[in-house]
Each structure stands twice: as C-alpha cells, then as structure tokens.
Amino acid sequence: MGQGVTEFGVEVTSDDIIDTLGFFDGWEDRYKYIIDLGKELPPLAEEHKTEANLVRGCQSQVWLISEARDGRLFFYADSDAFIVKGLLAVVLAAYNGKTPAEVSAFDIDAYFAELNLLNHLSSTRGNGLKAMVQKIQAIAAQ
Amino acid sequence: MTLFDAQAVRAEFPILQQQVNGHPLVYLDNAATTQKPESVIEAIADYYRFDNSNVHRGAHALSDRATEKFEGARNKVAAFINAESSAQVLWTRGTTEGVNLAAASWGRAHLKAGDRVLVSAMEHHSNIVPWQMIAESCGAQVEPIPVDDLGVIDLDALDALLDERVKMVSVGHVSNALGSINPVDEIIAKAHAVGAKVLLDAAQSIAHWSLDVQQLDCDFLVFSAHKMFGPTGMGVLYGKRELLDSMPPYQGGGEMIESVSFAGTVYNKLPYKFEAGTPNIAGAIGMGAAVDFIQGLDRQAADAHEKQLLQSAELALNNLGGFRLVGCSPNKVAVMSFVADFAHPQDIGMILDQQGIAVRTGNHCAQPIMDQYGLPGTVRASFSLYNTQADIEALMQGLEKAKMFLA
C-alpha cells in the first residue's frame, strides 16, 4: 500500500477519543481537537487519490483504501477538507485493526452520538463521511 | 428615496428571532431559500384551517372559497410579472420543474436533430440538464455561452455562437453561484434576431426587482416561490401564449383534460392543460401572499439596502485577508461567493455554523463554472432585505475565528 500503519485504531482508540472529546466543554476546543486529529492522519499518497478510491460527497472529497492483514482490516483515508479529515480519523480510530466481524458489530451511530457529532454523519451534510462509513461496512461484509 | 427599515421588516420573520448553537441566528443563505414572513405563514395556515378543499370541481362553499383564493393568487402573480393574461401563468413545483416542463414540452414540439440550445457556462444544473435530456432524445445539441474570469457573459462569443440553427437560448437572470446580473435585454434581442426563443430563469432575481415579461420580451420566464418569501414546492412558468398553445401537455391526469374517451382525449385550455392532478393549493395561496408582501415594500429602497450590504461585506472581507472573492462582475446582486487560501469552503461553513451563521458551501449546483475556475466550491453568503450590518459584523467575526482555527 505504501502507507504507514496509522496510529488511529491502534494507538488512538475510539475510547481515547470519547475520553478526550468528553473532557472539552466548548465547541471551539472540540473542533480544534478534531482538526488536530486530521493533521495527525497521514496523507494518502497522490497515486491513491484516484476516481476509484473516491467516496463521493457533494461538498468535500474523501478517498478511502483498505487492506486485510492477518484477518484484520486496515483503512487509509484522506479528505481535501480539514474538519472532515479529522472526522475520518475519528472513524478510523473505531475501525482500524479490527476483524470484519468487529467492524460490522460496531455501532457507529452510537459512537458519533456519544461524541455529539452525529449531525456530521447525517446524509444532509453531504461531506462524504456517511458514504465512507457505508463503504467500510460493505468491505467488512465481503 | 426613503431609507429602508430592515429592522422593521426583520420583525415580520419569526424564524429569524431564534438562537442557533447558542448564538442569535445569522441567516445568510437567502439565495438557497428566503425565510417567510408571518403573513405568508398565516395565509397557508388559514387555508388549511378554514378553506381546505379541492379546487375547480366542488359543488360546495369550501371549494368555491379555495378556488377563488387559488385563482386569485394566479391573478396576483400574473399582475406581479405583468403577464398578458393569467392563463399564461402555469403553476409548477418550482424553477426546476418550470425548466423541465418548457424543455420537455416545447422541445418535443420544436426541437429536431441538428438544432442548438445555448445556455451560459454559469447556469445552475437545473438550466442545463433538462435541455441535455431533450436534446439527447431528438439529436439537438446544448452548448455553453462562455463566461469570463469575473463572471460576466461574453456577448461577443454569444454573437459568434448564434445562427439560425439556435432554437433556444436559456439563461439565468442572475447567477446563483456568483451573483452576476446578466445583460438579459441584450441576450434576448440577440437571440430573437436569429429567430431563437429565450427562457429566462428568474429564480435568483425575482426577490430583488420588479420583472415585466412584456418589457423583457422573454418567451418563457421561470421562478420559485420559496426564493421570494413564499413556500417551497411552488413556482411559475410564464410563457407567450402562442408558444404555450403550440406545446403538448407535459403530464396527463385530472384537471388537464376537457374530455376523456378511449376514442381520443381532448385537452383542457390554458393554463389547465399543463396542470395535471390536484395542484399545490396552499402553495399557490402562499405565493400570492408572498407577492402581497413584496408589493408592500419599497423595492427601490430594499434594493439599495441590499447593495449597501454587499458593498460593506465585500470591503470587510478584503480587509480580513486570506479570503478571495469569486465572481467580481461589476453588476451583482447581494451574493458574496468566496474562497479561503487556507482551508476548504466546507471547513469555513462548519466553523460558521457553530457560531449560528448560516451560509452555503459547495459547488452551488453549478459545476461547470466551478470547474472552469478550478475550484472545489465556494463559501456563499447571500443577503436579503432583512439582513443588517450586524449580520455582516457577525460574519466577519465568524470568519476571523475560522482563520484562527484553520490557517
């Protein structure tokens, strides 16, 4: 893949993100944290930013690739928008390094609701995040 | 000219009195849809509360009242655009359906292989795709009229494109993505000189000035109620009578027929020929109320107020630094489309939303012009007459914060 193993899902887990985001009071700290998460997410190499890997959203673009190693799934994602990229990191923290059964069993809506970010998963946002989650779930179901 | 009292008008819009994400709502997405004054909300509620009934066929008092209000609204809209007759005002679901109706029905009767349809390069998809669909079915072609870097239609290029094979020129009066006001008088005259018809998409202009279809001499005019303080799901297609008479019905069903038999069906007269099924009665009545609301305004003063808002916003944006205006036509409505050199438009929109500021981000359903400009989209702040200087100050503070977060 030519991509380093991302720390999200391995070193930073969904529980870590729930803990950290729960610690902040105002939206400003929360969004700063999400933007920082996005900056820590390794960018996808340009060669992977292809039409085939594009998850189409109306506003921003999201690219996603995946691989299976030792029965576990690893995802690599990127976006042209900062906040969406941070939200991708939030998603990958939940899914990376899990078995397909674990990915399928994970309740992403409950996770985003707990993070008070559920509106970003709604289809009205058109940010490609929901489409990416659906694509990850489809990969796990294969 | 009198000064426009934006605060007084604003008080008529209940939705604007709320907090969003802990901040007073700053609504700057008026090109997407305008908010509704109390009078429009009341007209719709009253219809359902007191008069709800099917129109044109009941033999009872409620139906008479509903029909009277429904046709009364048509008369108001006809007078509003100075149509020759109310029969030329067809109710639609909105601008998009208006273009689709004209393209499908007029196109079926009048377009053939080798014909050309011109649209501007900055049209909304609604004024491109319906023409592509009919063109594909009959072998005609849809071609763009070039638009320059400022967002101005190239009239010399239009001259070069026009020949006797051009049967239709379909253009927006105002660009939803950039705010450019197009020189429609010249476009209509040039199109007519080669025998082409003109459809004018007034979705983005109808809320701003009075339109007179006879003076404009457009062949079709389309617009939506919801962009002029009326309800969603409601709009108008105006057409010249000889064109509407020459067109086959768009949809079949009740209301649009004179008589039906298996030997052959006779269609109803205008406008009912194009209005199959039970119409959006509440929508029409709401649109009539929106016309009343607009007629009650000093439109010149409102226009001056909006222009002043645009000028002030563009100046403040330039002073912030890090932002660039997209669409700098010397002739614009109060639409400020811009990009940041440090973040994606969607990032800006999300940070503004957290501060209770509603703008639109994205390609504004105008991908061809965004592609031409090499942009993924823009942030669009669009002002209406109820916006104030305080809204602009809130927007600038919101953008400062976005810069702090993202730059």
For chain B, list the domains and their CATH numbers: 6-32+298-406 (3.90.1150.10), 41-295 (3.40.640.10)
CA–CA separation, B344 vs B367, rounded Å? 16
Q: What is the CATH number of the domain that holds A86?
A: 3.90.1010.10
Q: 3-state SS of chain B?
A: CCCCCHHHHHCCCHHHHCEECCEECEECECCCCCCCCHHHHHHHHHHHHHHCCCCCCCCCHHHHHHHHHHHHHHHHHHHHCCCCCHHHEEEECCHHHHHHHHHHHHHHHHCCCCCEEEEECCCCHHHCHHHHHHHHHHCCEEEEECECCCCCECHHHHHHHCCCCEEEEEEECECCCCCEECCHHHHHHHHHHCCCEEEEECCCCCCCCCCCHHHHCCCEEEEECCCCCCCCCCEEEEECHHHHHHCCCCCCCCCCEEECCCCCCEECCCCHHHCCCCCCHHHHHHHHHHHHHHHCCCHHHHHHHHHHHHHHHHHHHHHHCCEEECCCCCCECCEEEEEECCCCHHHHHHHHHHCCEECEEECCCCHHHHHHHCCCCEEEEECCCCCCHHHHHHHHHHHHHHHHHHC
Mean pLDDT of A76-91: 93
Q: Which residues of chain B have pLDDT under 50?
A: none
Q: Tokens in use for B183?
A: 């020189």
Cβ partners under 8 Å of residue B353, min gap 6: B20, B21
**A80 compared with B116, residue with greater pLDDT:** B116
Secondary structure of residue A90 in the 3-state scheme: helix
How many other C-beta atoms lie within 10 A of the C-beta of residue B137?
Answer: 12
Is there a contact between A38 and A17 (Cβ–Cβ < 8 Å)? no
Cβ distance B347 to A83 less than 8 Å, yes or no, reads yes
Residue A126 in domain = yes
Closest CA to A80 of B320, B370, B371, B375: B375
pLDDT per position as a tens digit, A105-128: 999 999 999 998 888 877 666 667
Residue A112 in domain = yes
Residue A80 in domain = yes
Residue B186: the pLDDT is 98
Residue A2: the pLDDT is 40
Residue A9 in domain = no
From chain A, the residues in CB contact with B405 under 8 A are 28, 31-32, 35
Residue A101, min C-alpha distance to chain B (Å): 34
Cβ distance B363 to A58 less than 8 Å, yes or no, reads yes
Residue A98 in domain = yes
Domain span holding position A88: 14-141
Residue A102 in domain = yes
Is there a contact between B95 and B224 (Cβ–Cβ < 8 Å)? yes
- Number of structural domains in chain A: 1
The percentage of residues in chain A with a pLDDT greater than 70, rounded to a whole number, is 91
Residue A123 in domain = yes
- Beta-carbon-side half-sphere exposure of residue A16 (alpha carbons within 13 Å): 16
Cβ distance B405 to A127 less than 8 Å, yes or no, reads no
Q: How far is the first Cα of chain B from the last one, in angstroms, to the nearest whole number?
A: 43
Q: Is the peptide bond before B249 cis (omega within 30 degrees of 0)?
A: no
Give the nearest partner residue to A84 out of B21, B346, B351, using CB atoms. B346
Average the pLDDT over each of A15-29, A90-104, B154-168 and give the range with the smallest value.
A15-29
Cβ distance A127 to B361 less than 8 Å, yes or no, reads no
Is there a contact between B371 and B39 (Cβ–Cβ < 8 Å)? no
Active site residue ranges of A: 58
Mutate to test the interface with A, among B348, B350, B364, B380 (most CBs of A within 10 A): B350
Interface of A with B (CB under 8 A): 27-28, 31-32, 35, 58-61, 80-84, 126-127
With cut-offs at 50, 70 and 90, classify the pLDDT of residue A1. very low
From chain A, the residues in CB contact with B345 under 8 A are 59
Residue A87, min C-alpha distance to chain B (Å): 12
Over 50: is that where the pLDDT of A49 sits? yes
With cut-offs at 50, 70 and 90, classify the pLDDT of residue A11. confident
Interface of B with A (CB under 8 A): 21, 343-347, 349-351, 354, 361-363, 376-377, 401, 405-406
Residue B59: the pLDDT is 85
